[in-house]
């Protein structure tokens, strides 16, 4: 796989970011704002890194799974012991948990890892076989998905897995979480140290009140010993992106199992089960997209966000649903393929803010996921337009964390790893 000649400067610039953010064993999302290893970031990073160094991409995932808990969960942050503990808040002394490998948080992030492992393997199968990459990763990936199924399936959730903190959605500050968060008492202002505001403008980041609520939820979960007593937690949500990714990741696990001579059938069956549960429990045919469901109230949360388009990732999506969700994506709320990046929140919605973290800006990872879903579902025309817009934006924004969805103006930090990694992946893969 090679990039076209004219794209060489962009590919080199992306590679420079990934090399600069490589720590020796994994890649930090950003040297300033996020100086540790993040779970789903590492999956997206591996997807790009495999084009530069398949071995580093393998190590990226192996290093994350080296901090996997005994119960199978893959922590959302693995703390770098060499980075001062006050460089990021909440740091290791807040979370108070260490595995044999490192201090970690007790939360998780969306399960993109099996997809990343399969893509990483396919970039250099011989090297991967020599290093025993799949035999090492497969049992760990199985244990990770088993944790979600065993511990995160609420009895009233129709078989879907739940998240227990906005940070677990990856779309931390989404308007979808406003109503469930309103039930949460923020910790007193003085207990939150906003390290993030030293690296990004306050207008691009969550408010102090929301941060106080994030910290309260995390402290409550920690004080329960990170035991998933779903009835005792305040924030328990069935999120469409998490579940669509789990269905897609089970599809990737089926490919991995088949490649290793193991039985792929249980993974295909699980993928189909989650697909059915998502279409029954979260998809709204009249609105043309999926909504999260609040397990505490049993009600859907009616904000239109990019997570609602993620049924496009489902390997077994029925054609009628595919066409409907695609029309929603192409419509006024998301303008898919016509904006700089796919907006994280409805362009016409009441809570839309084009510059604030997950409340409207476009992000490379969610846009890439939709691109990838469109390619896999045979929607190559729309996928090609989306890819062009993403590459234009990457050329103009300097690998920023997120951008104004229409103008492409950069927000958040610069030299952001998954922006660089996914740009590189797009350059290497024609639609």
- Residue 41 touches ligand 2M8, criterion: CB under 6 A: yes
What is the SS3 assignment for 321-375?
Answer: HHHHHHHHHHCCCCCCCCCCCCECECCCCCCCCCCCCCCCCECHHHHHHHHHHHH
Q: How many CB atoms lie within 10 A of CB 6?
A: 7
CA 117, chain centre distance (Å): 15
CA distance 400 to 235: 30
Of 22, 34, 352, 364, the residue at the interface with ligand 2M8 (CB under 6 A) is 34
Per-residue exposure over 298-317, b if at least 16 CB sit within 10 Å of its own CB, e if not: eebbebbbbbbbbbbbbbeb
Segment contacting ligand 2M8 by CB under 6 A, of 35-43, 132-140, 260-268, 292-300? 35-43
172 carries an active-site annotation: yes
Number of residues counted as binding ligand 2M8 (CB under 6 A): 10
- Residue 135 or 201: which CB sits closer to ligand 2M8? 201
Active-site annotation holder among 7, 62, 255, 401: 401
Of 35, 170, 360, 408, the residue at the interface with ligand 2M8 (CB under 6 A) is 170
Q: Which residues contact 163 (CB under 8 A, 6 or more apart)?
A: 108, 152, 169, 235, 236, 237, 239, 242
Q: Does an H or E element contain 281, and which? A: helix 265-281
Least distance (Å) between residue 404 CB and ligand 2M8: 16
- Residue 72 or 170: which CB sits closer to ligand 2M8? 170
Helices (runs of H) and strands (runs of E) counted in the chain: 16, 10
- Residue 399 touches ligand 2M8, criterion: CB under 6 A: no
- Residue 38 touches ligand 2M8, criterion: CB under 6 A: yes
Write the interaction track for ligand 2M8 spanning residues 75-104; mark x where CB under 6 A is met and - where it is not. -x----------------------------
401 carries an active-site annotation: yes
- Residue 147 or 167: which CB sits closer to ligand 2M8? 167
Window 188 to 207, contacts with ligand 2M8 (CB under 6 A) = 196
Name beta bridge partners: 22.
Answer: 27
- Residue 29 or 373: which CB sits closer to ligand 2M8? 29
- Residue 111 touches ligand 2M8, criterion: CB under 6 A: no
- Residue 167 touches ligand 2M8, criterion: CB under 6 A: yes
The candidate with the shortest Cα–Cα distance to 416, out of 10, 109, 17, is: 17
- Residue 368 touches ligand 2M8, criterion: CB under 6 A: no
CB 221 within 8 A of CB 233: yes
CA distance 400 to 260: 38
- Residue 273 touches ligand 2M8, criterion: CB under 6 A: no
CA distance 111 to 65: 12
- Residue 40 touches ligand 2M8, criterion: CB under 6 A: yes
CA distance 419 to 408: 13
Segment contacting ligand 2M8 by CB under 6 A, of 37-45, 59-67, 242-250, 423-431? 37-45
Segment contacting ligand 2M8 by CB under 6 A, of 166-174, 267-275, 279-287, 379-387? 166-174
What is the bridge-based pairing of β-strands 299-300 and 402-403? unpaired
Window 207 to 236, contacts with ligand 2M8 (CB under 6 A) = none
CB 148 within 8 A of CB 246: yes
Of 27, 29, 241, 328, the residue at the interface with ligand 2M8 (CB under 6 A) is 29
Residues near ligand 2M8 (CB under 6 A): 29, 34, 38, 40-41, 76, 167, 170, 172, 196
Question: Any idea which residues carry the catalytic annotation?
Answer: 172, 401
């Amino acid at each position: 796989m090679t990039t076209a000649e004219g794209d060489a400067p962009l590919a080199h610039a992306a590679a420079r970011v990934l090399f600069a953010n490589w720590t020796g064993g994994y890649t930090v999302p950003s040297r300033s704002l996020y100086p540790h290893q993040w779970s789903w970031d590492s999956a997206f990073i591996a997807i790009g890194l495999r084009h530069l160094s398949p071995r580093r991409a393998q190590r990226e995932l192996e290093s994350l799974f080296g901090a996997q808990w005994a119960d199978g969960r893959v922590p959302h942050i693995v703390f770098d012991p060499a980075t001062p503990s006050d460089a990021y808040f909440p740091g290791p002394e807040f979370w108070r948990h260490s595995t044999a490998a490192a201090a970690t948080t007790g939360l998780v992030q969306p399960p993109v890892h099996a997809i990343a492992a399969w893509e990483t393997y396919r970039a250099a199968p011989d090297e991967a076989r020599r290093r025993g990459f799949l035999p090492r990763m497969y049992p760990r990936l199985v244990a990770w998905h088993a944790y979600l199924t065993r511990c995160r399936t609420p009895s009233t959730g129709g078989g879907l897995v739940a998240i227990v903190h906005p940070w677990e959605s990856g779309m931390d500050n989404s308007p979808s979480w406003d109503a469930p968060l309103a039930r949460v008492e923020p910790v007193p202002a003085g207990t939150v140290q906003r390290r993030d505001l030293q690296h990004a403008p306050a207008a691009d980041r969550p408010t102090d009140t929301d941060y106080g609520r994030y910290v309260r939820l995390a402290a409550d979960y920690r004080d329960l010993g990170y035991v998933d007593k779903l009835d005792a937690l305040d924030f328990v949500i069935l999120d469409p992106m998490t579940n669509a990714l789990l269905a897609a990741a089970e599809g990737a696990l089926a490919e991995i199992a088949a490649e290793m001579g193991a039985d792929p059938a249980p993974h295909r069956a699980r993928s189909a089960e989650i697909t059915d549960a998502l279409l029954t429990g979260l998809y709204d045919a009249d609105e043309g997209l999926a909504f999260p469901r609040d397990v505490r109230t049993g009600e859907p949360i009616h904000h239109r966000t990019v997570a609602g388009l993620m049924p496009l990732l489902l390997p077994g999506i029925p054609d009628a649903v595919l066409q409907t969700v695609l029309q929603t994506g192409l419509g006024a709320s998301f303008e898919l393929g016509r904006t700089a990046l796919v907006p994280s929140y409805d362009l016409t919605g009441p809570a839309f803010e084009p510059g604030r973290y997950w409340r409207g800006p476009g992000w490379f990872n969610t846009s890439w996921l939709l691109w990838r879903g469109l390619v896999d579902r045979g929607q190559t025309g729309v996928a090609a337009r989306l890819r062009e817009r993403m590459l234009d934006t990457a050329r103009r924004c300097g690998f920023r964390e997120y951008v104004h969805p229409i103008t492409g103006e950069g927000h958040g930090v610069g030299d952001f790893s998954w922006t660089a990694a996914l740009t590189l992946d797009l350059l290497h893969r024609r639609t």
